């Protein structure tokens, strides 16, 4: 459908692609992944023909209908929501308009028999094409898609809509248009969990080719059939879904590390030979010296670095956050008018080890709750207090202090250098017992030295979010508020952030629609339902299983899998509220936060101990005349075997507890 052949694209001194080739086949399901700033969105615009390549060639199948939904869609501000979707409906709208025109012409046709026959023939052809494209029910389809994406007021002006609302409207227009190739750049941003599940099912049934950029790894895994990783100017293809990509990527990283170690070993031996200063300069020896020089100068692809977010925080006392009879309305006017509140009667003591996820539909009050905790808003009723030792960091949804418009107070940071933004928070930071400079810390966040002295305005949206996260975390918080942290962050950064949160010794409160992220980071949920927060013990997949069981007319279903299976069984009516207390039930004991960390440590330690055991056994098998050394190795092996035995027993014990 689309081919990019030897494409080059650069912006000044920065080269995104050089000699890149990529093909999108008919009905293909392709996922684009890569670090922020690698050029994924630019590549999408190249595929759509909206960005000219600096070199190479773009080819498309003649008459192929290609639709791109980018992160900042452009629309006519004077249209209404419904008019916008109709205007972008492509062939279906054209068929309807032509059918109406031909019908009118036929109604006013003269006695010209030849003209009447031609109109009747065209009308028959149009009727057949409209049946095939299902254009007859276009308005009904539009209203259904808009409703599923949470767009209710179809008569609002596009110019009055927020950025997130416009993104959902652009997505609705693209889905209704049913193009041959659908290009989606972060379509799950600004969608709640129910919308994402519906979209996942819709894309699974989509008949055309699909190219998808998304941080939602469940959608990526369920919808795609090929993953293309864009990194450092190259596009590497993996013929499978996201799970397949992860397995192959792990194999490649291990192989690359082994090859690099082998190369360094060979080079070290050659340099040792060279340092001895060979006496004779024979042809063979000269050739060997030339080979050493070639090895030193040969370009080698470095194993990709990882973002390191080692925990660096202040001690948190026993008291983190206390909320008592909390109530809040959307506005003061809504409060005065007696309208329904966003939240009422919420009381909870957040402990220092809480991992809490806040879920609910868009507009239910999730971000407002975080604003209350952070002190950005005052409640209309009740109280909320922070502990005396709390050092709070709020990673808000819009990262306003780095993503502001030029000329505004927040936009002043856009002209500052990347390294200066970090130095404002701390010039050095202690990480894992070592002092790191601001420059070294930025390198751990995948900002190379050349990029550190660029102004913030030159960073991509995802890179700014990563910089904002870096700045917050080096201030050593012990309470983290994360509002949609997965928006605009690449999968690599998300994975490391998840690893960091597992080791974080403090309170974490997360608002997110990313099911994968919630599954990895929280063990308790609060769900907004009818202006109240209902508590659920478990992660998001467990919550979906419970909701599916409650919605099933047959009662709880054993073995329900979430979240993939739930998409087909989402209830039309709101689910019944979860029980506020589970004191009467006697569930299997859950692992504590400390036990979960211990289990994770054992899962890393046991393979390492196995490798140590193999090494000791190999040394003993090699033998030798030094019996004292052999005796020491035997003692080490005995102690290691006992440690492995105790570790395996403890691993089995912890694994049997509920997660």
Q: Could you give the C-alpha distances from 393 to 409, 462, 471, 491, 584, in angstroms and in order?
A: 20, 19, 10, 22, 37
The whole-number pLDDT of residue 326 equals 93
DSSP string, 588-652: PPBPPHHHHHHHHHHHHHHHHHHHHHHHHHHHHHH--S-HHHHHHHHHHHHHHHHHHHHHHHHHH
Instruction: Quick: pLDDT tens for 458-484.
Output: 887 778 888 888 888 778 788 999 998
Highest averaged pLDDT of the listed ranges 231-240, 272-281, 338-347, 570-579:
338-347
Q: Answer whether 118's CB lies under 8 Å from 125's CB.
A: no
With contact defined as beta carbons under 8 Å apart, do 516 and 218 qualify? Answer: yes
For residue 563, pLDDT beyond 60: no
H/E stretch holding 530 reads none
pTM equals 0.62
Q: Is the pLDDT of residue 137 over 70?
A: no
Query: Can you list the positions of beta strands (E) in 119-225?
Result: 181-185, 209-213
Average pLDDT, the chain: 78
The pLDDT of residue 554 is 54
CA–CA dist 87, 94 (Å, integer): 9
Alpha-carbon torsion 577, 583, 589, 594, what sign? positive
**pLDDT reading at 65 higher than 70:** yes
Q: Tens digits of per-residue pLDDT, 417-436?
A: 888 888 887 766 665 556 77
Classify residue 613 as left (phi > 0), alpha (psi -120 to 50) or beta: alpha
Give me 248's structure tokens.
Answer: 């192959």
Nearest to 355 by CA among 498, 226, 452, 219: 498
Average pLDDT over residues 313-336: 84
Confidence category of residue 293, pLDDT binned at 50, 70, 90: low
Q: How far apart are CA 568 and CA 626, in angstroms?
A: 68
For residues 121 and 323, which has the higher predicted lDDT (pLDDT)? Answer: 323
pLDDT digits (tens, 9 = 90+) for 357-399: 999 888 889 999 999 999 999 999 999 999 888 889 999 876 5
What pLDDT does residue 347 have?
93
Task: Tell whether the model's pLDDT for residue 409 goes beyond 50.
Answer: no
Q: Count other Cβ atoms within 10 Å, centred on residue 296.
A: 10
Give the pair of three-digit tokens for residue 441: 């810390």
Helix axes 138-148, 91-107, angle to 10 degrees: 150
**pLDDT score of 44:** 92
Strand order, beta sheet including 2-11: 14-24, 2-11, 55-60
Task: Report yes or no: 496 and 445 within 8 Å, Cβ to Cβ.
Answer: no
**426 by DSSP, 3-state: which?**
coil
Q: Contact at 8 Å (CB) between 597 and 555?
A: no
pLDDT confidence bin for 658, thresholds 50/70/90: low
pLDDT digits (tens, 9 = 90+) for 149-194: 888 888 888 888 877 788 888 898 899 888 899 999 999 887 888 8
Let me know: does 480 contact 509? Beta carbons within 8 Å.
yes
Cβ partners under 8 Å of residue 250, min gap 6 = none
Q: Is the pLDDT of residue 549 over 60?
A: yes
For residue 558, pLDDT over 50 is answered with no
pLDDT in the model for residue 576: 38
Task: Supply 427's token pair.
Answer: 């010039």
Residues 6+ apart with CB under 8 A from 220: 31, 33, 212, 214, 227, 241, 242
Distances (CA, A) of 258 to 254, 255, 297, 304, 602: 6, 5, 20, 14, 25
The C-alpha atoms of residue 637 and residue 626 are separated, in whole angstroms, by 17
How confident is residue 30, by pLDDT bands cut at 50, 70 and 90? Answer: very high
Q: Tell me the longest C-alpha to C-alpha distance in the chain.
A: 116
pLDDT exceeds cutoff 80 at 506:
yes
Q: What pLDDT was estimated at residue 32?
A: 93
What length does the chain have?
659
Q: What is the mean pLDDT of residues 283-291?
A: 62
Instruction: Tell whether the model's pLDDT for residue 309 goes beyond 70.
Output: no
Written in H, E and C, the secondary structure of 548-598 is HHHHCCCCCCCCCCCCCHHHHHCCCCCCCCCCCCCCCCCCCCECCHHHHHH
* Separation of alpha carbons 275 and 71, rounded Å: 57
CA atoms of 86 and 101, how far apart (whole Å): 17
CB atoms within 10 A of CB 377: 15
Q: What count of other Cβ atoms lies within 10 Å of the Cβ of residue 469?
A: 23
Rg of the chain over Cα atoms, rounded to whole angstroms, equals 30
Which is higher by pLDDT, 633 or 222? 222
> What is the pairing mode between strands 234-238 and 226-231?
antiparallel
Handedness of CA 365, 366, 372, 376 (dihedral sign): negative
Question: Per-residue pLDDT averaged across 36-57, rounded?
Answer: 89
**Per-residue pLDDT tens for 77-118?**
888 888 888 877 766 766 766 767 777 776 666 666 667 777
The residue ranking higher by pLDDT, 184 or 310, is 184
Q: Is the CB of residue 67 less than 8 Å from the CB of residue 16?
A: no
Count Cβ atoms below 10 Å from residue 224 Cβ, excluding itself.
Answer: 26
Return the number of other C-beta atoms located less than 10 Å from residue 487's C-beta: 22
Helix ranges (DSSP H) in 404-448: 418-423, 438-444
Dihedral angle sign, alpha carbons of residues 181, 187, 188, 191: negative
Alpha helix stretches (DSSP H) within 178-309:
193-205, 217-223, 242-275, 283-297
Using alpha carbons, list the distances in angstroms from residue 261 to 176, 258, 266, 294: 53, 5, 9, 17
The b-or-e profile of 164-194 (16+ CB within 10 A means b, else e) is: ebbbbbbbbbbbbbbbbbbbbbbbbbbbbbb
- Of the pLDDT bands very low, low, confident and very high (cuts 50, 70, 90), residue 574 is very low
Residue of higher predicted confidence among 615 and 274: 615
Q: Which of 231, 210, 207, 197 has the alpha carbon at shortest distance from 69?
A: 210
């Amino acid at each position: 459908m689309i081919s990019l052949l030897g494409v080059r694209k650069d912006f000044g001194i920065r080269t995104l692609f050089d000699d890149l080739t990529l093909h999108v086949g008919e009905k293909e399901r392709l996922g684009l992944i890569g670090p922020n700033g690698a050029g994924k969105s630019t590549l999408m615009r190249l595929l759509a023909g909206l960005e000219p390549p600096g070199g190479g060639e773009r080819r498309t199948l003649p008459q192929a209908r290609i639709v791109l939904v980018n992160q900042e869609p452009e629309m006519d501000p004077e249209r209404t929501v419904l008019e916008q979707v109709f205007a972008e409906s492509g062939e279906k709208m054209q068929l309807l308009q032509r059918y109406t025109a031909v019908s009118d012409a036929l109604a006013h046709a003269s006695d010209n028999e030849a003209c009447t026959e031609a109109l009747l023939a065209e009308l028959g052809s149009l009727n057949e094409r409209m049946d095939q494209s299902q254009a007859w029910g276009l308005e009904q389809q539009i209203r259904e898609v808009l409703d599923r994406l949470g767009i209710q007021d179809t008569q609002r002006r596009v110019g009055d809509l927020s950025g997130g609302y416009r993104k959902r409207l652009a997505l609705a227009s693209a889905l209704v248009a049913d193009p041959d190739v659908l290009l989606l750049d972060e379509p799950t941003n600004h969608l709640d969990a129910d919308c994402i599940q519906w979209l996942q099912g819709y894309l699974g049934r989509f008949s055309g080719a699909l190219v998808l950029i998304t941080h939602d790894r469940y959608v990526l895994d369920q919808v795609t059939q090929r993953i293309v990783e864009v990194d450092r100017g190259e596009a590497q293809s993996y013929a499978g879904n996201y799970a397949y990509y992860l397995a192959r990527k792990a194999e490649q990283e291990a192989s690359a590390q082994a090859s690099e170690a082998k190369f360094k070993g060979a080079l070290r031996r050659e340099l040792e030979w060279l340092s001895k200063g060979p006496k004779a300069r024979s042809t063979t020896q000269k050739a060997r010296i030339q080979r050493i020089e070639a090895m030193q100068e040969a370009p080698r692809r470095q194993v990709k670095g990882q973002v390191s977010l080692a925990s660096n925080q202040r001690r948190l006392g026993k008291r983190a956050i206390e909320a008592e009879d909390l109530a809040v309305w959307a506005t003061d006017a809504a409060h005065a008018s007696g309208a329904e509140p966003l939240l009422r009667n919420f009381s909870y003591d957040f402990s220092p080890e809480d991992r809490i996820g806040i879920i609910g539909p868009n507009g239910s009050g999730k971000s407002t709750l975080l604003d209350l905790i952070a002190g950005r808003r005052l409640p209309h009723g009740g109280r909320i207090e922070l502990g005396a030792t709390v050092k709070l960091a709020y990673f808000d949804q819009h990262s306003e202090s780095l993503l502001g418009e030029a000329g505004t107070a927040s936009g002043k940071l856009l002209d500052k250098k990347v390294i200066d933004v970090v130095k404002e928070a701390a010039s050095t930071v202690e990480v894992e017992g070592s002092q790191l400079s601001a420059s070294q810390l930025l390198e751990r966040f995948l900002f190379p030295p050349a990029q550190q002295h660029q102004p913030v305005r030159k960073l991509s949206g995802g890179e700014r979010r990563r910089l904002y996260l870096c700045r917050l975390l080096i201030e050593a918080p012990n309470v983290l508020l994360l509002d949609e942290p997965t928006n605009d962050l690449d999968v690599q950064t998300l994975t490391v952030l998840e690893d960091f949160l597992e080791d974080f010794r403090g309170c974490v409160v997360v608002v997110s629609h990313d099911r994968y992220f919630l599954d990895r980071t929280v063990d308790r949920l609060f769900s907004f339902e009818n202006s109240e927060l209902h508590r659920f013990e478990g992660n998001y997949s467990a919550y979906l299983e419970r909701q599916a069981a409650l919605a099933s007319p047959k009662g709880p279903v054993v073995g329900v899998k979430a979240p993939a299976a739930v998409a087909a069984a989402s209830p039309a009516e709101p689910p019944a509220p979860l029980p506020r207390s589970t004191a009467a039930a006697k569930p299997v004991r859950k692992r504590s936060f400390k036990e979960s960390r211990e289990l994770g440590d054992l899962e890393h330690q046991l393979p390492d101990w196995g490798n140590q055991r193999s090494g000791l056994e190999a040394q003993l098998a090699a033998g030798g005349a030094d019996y004292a050394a052999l005796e020491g190795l035997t003692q080490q092996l005995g102690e290691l075997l006992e440690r492995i035995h105790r570790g395996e027993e403890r691993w089995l014990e912890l694994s049997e507890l509920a997660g």
